[in-house]
Each structure stands twice: as structure tokens, then as C-alpha cells.
Structure 1
């Protein structure tokens, strides 16, 4: 079907879909829930009198934000009963996401975990302002607050995130090199070399969702992390392999055990060492690691 046979409302939604998905995903940390939000946004968009809409993009972002806020509050209850740590759903991303430093940081596992500590409204305001650069009056319309209130919320959320975000920055090439050294040491069982590439205070967070073995609490310290890894995916009797990839705009390893995908290990690199590891094993969260998901900021 050519674009000429698609009605204008659908054309507009398709044109902004990747932006709307990125907004919803950054707010929710779940591609599945983001897709549900977009579906509901589409249903609402089809019922709108478009003659009353001055700016399709602003209107669609507003609807998507409101729906995502409702979903975020529902997800909070789900997360309270979740088995073990809850990690965002990893997305295989294109190289252009990694090239956009601000976008890559905003969707990184590290920052997404910090966003989990914000209230739903704080998260929405922070994402729209810091990640997408929306004006305060646009955000106010999306979250049903005054522009003055949005400024205060944005300032509070920014301070909260700044106090918790990783400070060290590395080049993409350096991060990739460290990730490759880590992959090589892990898949060959060279735990002495693995110790060299891990920061002394490295933190490993694992997410099995109650469906796969995972630690119920973060594991801190290089030696403790190695003991956990060697007793798990690195245990003898298994054929462990891994492919270096890019997840959420940052280096990651797609791990396979005996030829079967076991999970995605996203890495945070600081000072030429792995400082953070986010291992998603929950099979329900691994549906987006085989095909690139387009993420954009405009």
C-alpha cells in the first residue's frame, strides 16, 4: 500500500511513531508496555477531530505521555511483586543511537535504573525536558501541571538524577574495547583476566523475573561477581559463547549457553574497566534483541 492510500491521520502517526515509542519506552523501561501505549494512542488519535489539532506532533506526545503515566502507575504495583531486581527491557539498537551521545546516555541501563527511583510525574517531566528538549509549557500540557510547577519538578528530578548518574565518561571506541576484553575473558573462562577488566567495586544486577536463576540482590565487588559468574553461566560442563552487540546505545554481550540464548549482559564502562553489569535473563524481556529498534529524539 502506497502512502497516497493511507489516510492523513495514519500518515501523521506513522511519521512520529519512532519518537512516540522512544518517549514511552524511556518513561516505562518496557518495550512491550510502550507498544501497548502506542496502540491506545492510535485508537484515541483516530477519534480526534484533527481540525482542532494545531500541532500533530505535540498532540501525539501529549496523549502518549498521559497514557504512559497511567501505565507507569500500574507497573509500580507489578514491580512490587516482581521476583528479584527489575531491569529495563533491553533493546538492540542501531549504530546511530550509539553515535548520539545524549540519546545513548538517556536510554542506557544505568540511567534507566536511576529513572526508576523517580516518581511517575518526575520521570515524565525529566524525560520530556532532558532527553527530548520539550519546552515547559508543552510538558505542562502533557502532565496536567502549570509551567511553574513543571519547572520545579524538573529541577528536583534533575538534582536527583545528577546525584546518582555515573560521572566518568569514555569514548565509544574505548567502551567497545573494554567490552571485547570482558567478553573474551568471560567466554574462555579466564577469570584472572576477568578480574583485571572489572572495577574493584563493580556492581552486577541480574533479572530472571522468577523464570530464570538470578541473584535476589545486587552483587558488589569484583571477586564476588566472579564467584557468582563462575558458579552460574561460567560453570563447567556448559559451552558458553557471547557476541558483542549494542543494547540501548551501549556495549553489551548476547550470551549463549550450549547454543541457546541465555540473556543479555549490558555493560557500564568507567576508567577503562567494567563498573556496572546488568544481566537480563527473563525470557519475556528478550524479544527485542534479535532486531534493531529505532530510537530517536526528534
Structure 2
């Protein structure tokens, strides 16, 4: 417990604030920077004049995110290769009878709680990248956080009519995405598949790629599966998506043959989806998100950019 009432109140609302910031920015490090800035402003604020601490904090974080997202969208236009979100990772080994966060910590962090939500999936965050900053803020406040339009108007300092138009335009933009690609991306999210079923499939795939059993991999990959890599121009990655379960299985098999016993795969939950952490010579090399329908893997997102892996590596050290 803290003796600082301001810190206690900020800590109380931190899960919601982090949830807003991460969904806006799709980057844990940038979200944490925004929260640090919000804390400094909160610390200097005269609390006695506020009607609602939560409303004030959400407003500050949202506006900071809009400004930061404008900068990020400019930077991402020059990003080398495919840009993928910075992953949120649960590090416990999943299994059919294991509750990840019950095993790893009694009081999950805001990041851990957020990681379990389906609306932070890579497919969802990549769709949100199509929105302008204020559209994204209005859409998330309305559709994810269920804010009323008067509250959204106060946060964005716009009229209710303008906010309704922002949300409407956001829905239209998302609806205009390629239908087939959207169906593939959201197949896992739309299927009533339990977390335990996902964990079983993940463990089968982990064993197959760890031992180089190509036929077993192939049996778990959809024929039209695709693999998208993000190296950020700092490490090697595919300039275009790798299409087809056959080609993806050969890639994993080749890695086993190339590195022999130097590779270790660790199962994890990443942004609410089953995933793998791949270590080469004991160092984290990639975080891999698997999108599945419970029986087949339809997409694999491979984050290799070392800047996006830094927080995961730190989690390992802290355990």
C-alpha cells in the first residue's frame, strides 16, 4: 500500500489507462511513455477542482495518444518491411488445465490483464491502423470502452455530432477492408474455441517445430496459411508474406536443420492468442503469434524487431 493518495488513485485507474494507450498505439513501450507523461501531469494537477479523477486521466491519456499516434503514423510510413504491433506476452507454459495468470502471479499486471482480451489481437490492431488518430480514439472509446457520446465529446473536445461522424467513418473504413482477408484474419476470433483448445493446439505445434516433425506441422497448418514477419530493418525478415502451409512447414524444418539444438521454443499467450517465443543460443529471437480456429493455424505473425522484444526479455530476467 502507498501513503501517497495521488499515486494510489493513479494506480487504481492504470489498467484502464494502459488499455486505452495500448489500443491507440499498438506499442507497449509507447503506451508506457504516455502513462509516464500522464502521471507527471496528474502529479501537478490540483485534484480538488476535478469532478472525476478517472475522466480527467482518460481524457489526458487519450489526447496524448492522439498526438503520439500522429507522429507514429508518419514514422511507420518509412518502416522497413512489414510493421506489426509490439506484443503483450504471458510467459507461463500453457496447458489444458493451466490458468496462465493464476500460475504466474496472484495479482495480474494491467498488461497481463489486457493481453487476455480478444480486442488486442494482432488482426484487430492491424485493422485499427487504417484509422486516423481521432477516428481511432472515438471508435475505441465507443466500441471497446462503451463511453457515451457526451463523454467522448468532452474527451475529444468536439461536438457530439462530430464524434458520431468520427465513429461512423471509422466503421466504414474498417468495413471496406478486403472481405476475404478480413475473414481469414478474424476466423479465430469469431469461432467459439476455448482457451484450453487453443493451448492444446499450441502445444502440438510447439512440439512439432521443436523436433522438426514437418508432417506434424503440415497437419496443423491450414493449406492457405500465411506468415508475416517484422524485422524493422534491424534483422532479416520476409519482405512479403510467406503463403501456404507447405512453404511455412519447410521454413520451420529448415530452421531446425540449420540450428540443430540451438533453438528452443517456449509456449506463451501473446495478445490473447496462442504463441511461441523462439530462443536461439538462449537469447530471445522472435515472438510468434498464431491465429487459429482451434484445429488449424491460419496465420503466423513473427515479430523479430529487437526493439519490440526488449520488454519480453526483461520479463524473463525479472522472473
1:202 corresponds in structure 2 to 225
Task: Pick the aligned partner of 2:55 from 43, 55, 58.
Answer: 58
Q: 1:100 to 1:9 in 2, by over 3 A?
A: closer
Q: Which has the higher contact order (CA 8 A, sep 6+)?
A: 1
Structure 2 gap segments, 5+ residues each? 91-99, 103-107
What does residue range 138-157 of structure 1 map to in structure 2 within 5 Å?
138-157=151-170
In the alignment, structure 1 residue 3 sits paired with structure 2 residue 25 = no
C-alpha displacement of 1:109: 1.5
What does residue range 65-144 of structure 1 map to in structure 2 within 5 Å?
65-93=62-90, 95=101, 104-144=117-157
Give secondary structure in 2 for the equivalent of 1:40.
Answer: helix
**What TM-score do you get using the length of structure 2 for normalisation?**
0.82
2:97 corresponds in structure 1 to none
After TM superposition, the runs of 4+ consecutive aligned structure 1 residues lying more than 4 A away are 96-103
CA distance in structure 2 between the partners assigned to 1:117 and 1:82 by the alignment: 15
C-alpha displacement of 1:284: 0.9
2:94 corresponds in structure 1 to none
User: Does structure 2 retain, via aligned residues, the 8 Å contact 1:199–1:274?
Assistant: yes
Task: Pick the aligned partner of 2:32 from 31, 35, 38.
Answer: 35
C-alpha displacement of 1:48: 2.2
Give secondary structure in 1 for the equivalent of 2:310.
Answer: coil
2:281 corresponds in structure 1 to 258
Q: What is the aligned-residue RMSD (CA, Å)?
A: 2.5
Give secondary structure in 2 for the equivalent of 1:236.
Answer: helix
1:270 corresponds in structure 2 to 293
C-alpha displacement of 1:33: 0.8
Structure 1 gap segments, 5+ residues each? 293-298
CA distance in structure 2 between the partners assigned to 1:160 and 1:227 by the alignment: 37
C-alpha displacement of 1:58: 0.8
CA distance in structure 1 between the partners assigned to 2:207 and 2:166 by the alignment: 44
Give secondary structure in 2 for the equivalent of 1:89.
Answer: coil
Give secondary structure in 2 for the equivalent of 1:166.
Answer: helix
1:183 corresponds in structure 2 to 206
In the alignment, structure 1 residue 226 sits paired with structure 2 residue 249 = yes
Which structure features the higher share of helix residues? 2
Q: 1:21 to 1:62 in 2, by over 3 A?
A: same
Number of residue pairs matched by the alignment:
288
**What TM-score do you get using the length of structure 1 for normalisation?**
0.88
